[in-house]
Amino acid sequence: MNVEWGAFDAAAESWLCALTAFEVARRLVGADDPQTRDVLVKLGAGISNFGSLEQRVRRVEITSWDGRKLPAYYVSAGEPDLCSPAVICISREDETGAMLLGRLLPVIASRGMAALVVGYDDVSNGWHRQSDILSSCLDYLSAQQEVDASRIGIYGEGLSAALATDSALADRRIAAAVCDGGLWNWARTQASISWMTETSHLPDDHLASAHRARLARRLKCPILVVAGGRSIVSVPEGIKLESDCTAARIDLKLLVPRTASLTIGEFENFAACDEDIFAWMEHKLAHASAS
């Protein structure tokens, strides 16, 4: 029996390593490379094989208050007798939910954490309000027997980081958020002022700091902002936001992904970044339970 379980664990580990390898390959070949389709097919097969192996991944549909359906992937925590934390994960605008799931499964699988993975296009298209969709996702997770409804976080990258901010503002059930801290809406507001006044609007540093901190203070949960790389938040703006929030005693942390220089350009160490993100999420959701 122990040999069988050892083989089972080895198979699961192999599939998770394969998913990470496919993600590396996908990033190296580029979106226009003819090999990209083959990589995506193999990525989908890897997800299916891991899901069937551990019975932990399944396709689901989230039903909104008006009966609309949102396709999603549910990843079980694997601990049916425990009340586990959970995270809603939203892909960036140029990726599907399946792509994000393939990248995050190796990070989530060993953490005793449930996850609901959705695609940016599915959330942002065809619905009345994105916050209503994500509230429906919260409803779905809260109804799962293995999930602790008081320990649900949200994670968005790319433009989905702004969606995560809006969701955390609209629904106080979110206990931790990996988001943009309101910087996307702040930038759009500044651009609108410049356009309407036909000037280059440069706000006073003190007023800008107060406004950034005020936006972040509206988020009543701990915040992690990822800046640089493929994020919509620049490193200088992220540093300013973290500084403003530290002065205002707001629980906000900045994370800048590590990169490596290759002949094809800079390559973001996404695996290390994802580990840092979910280690932070795991810590904050544990703290939410203790609170």
Q: Report whether 280 contacts 153 (CB < 8 A).
A: no
- Of 78, 99, 74, 98, which is closest to residue 88 (Cα–Cα)? 74
| pLDDT at residue 201, rounded to an integer | 52
Per the model's pLDDT, the better-predicted residue between 189 and 101 turns out to be 101
**Where is the domain boundary, 15, 34, 55?**
55
- Are 46 and 79 part of one and the same domain? no
Is there a single domain that holds both residue 143 and residue 12?
no
Q: Are residues 51 and 93 in the same domain?
A: no
16, 38, 55 - which closes a domain? 55
pLDDT tops 60 at residue 9? no
The pLDDT of residue 278 = 95
| Number of domains composing the chain | 2
| Mean pLDDT, residues 217-243 | 90
Distance CA 9, CA 92 (A): 31
Domain shared by 234 and 96, yes or no: yes
- Average of per-residue pLDDT across 218-223: 91
Comparing 35 with 142, which gets the higher pLDDT?
142
Q: Kind of pairing, strands 265-268 and 259-262?
A: antiparallel
Per-residue pLDDT at 73: 93
Give the pLDDT band (50/70/90) at residue 159. Answer: very high
Domain identity same for 107 and 166: yes
Same domain, 50 and 75: no
CB-CB contact of 109 with 172 (8 Å): no
pLDDT range class, residue 224, cuts 50, 70, 90: very high
Q: Which has the minimum average pLDDT: 43-57, 252-266, 277-291?
A: 43-57
Mean pLDDT of the chain: 78
| pLDDT (0 to 100) of residue 22 | 59
List pLDDT tens digits, range 36-81.
566 556 566 656 555 554 568 889 999 877 778 889 999 999 776 6
**Which pLDDT does position 139 carry in this prediction?**
94
Residue 214 or 118, more confident:
118
Domain identity same for 87 and 119: yes
Query: Among 187-196, 235-244, 275-284, where is mean pLDDT lowest?
Result: 187-196
Q: Judging by beta carbons within 10 Å of its beta carbon (0-12, 13-18, 19+), is residue 216 exposed, middle or buried?
A: buried
* HSE toward the beta carbon, residue 213, CA cutoff 13 A: 16
Pairing mode of beta strands 57-63, 84-90? unpaired
- Phi first, then psi: give them for residue 160, nearest 5 degrees: -65, -20
User: Six-digit token pair at 78?
Assistant: 């694997």
Same domain assignment for residues 136 and 264:
yes
Same domain (yes/no): 145, 235: yes
Does residue 250 contact residue 216 with C-beta atoms inside 8 Å? yes
Domain span including residue 38 = 1-55
Same structural domain for residues 30 and 167? no
Residues 148 and 66 in one domain: yes
193: pLDDT strictly greater than 50? no
Q: Is the domain of 66 the same as that of 47?
A: no
Grade residue 198 by pLDDT with cuts at 50, 70 and 90.
low
Rg (CA), the chain: 20
Residues 227 and 70: their CA atoms lie apart, in Å, by 29
pLDDT tens for residues 110-134?
888 999 999 999 888 754 567 788 8
CA angle 213, 121, 186 (to 5 degrees): 20
- Distances 157 to 3, 94, 160, 211, 274 between C-alpha atoms, Å: 40, 11, 5, 23, 11
Residue 195: per-residue pLDDT: 45
Q: How confident is the model at residue 3 (pLDDT cuts 50, 70, 90)?
A: very low
CATH number at residue 141: 3.40.50.1820
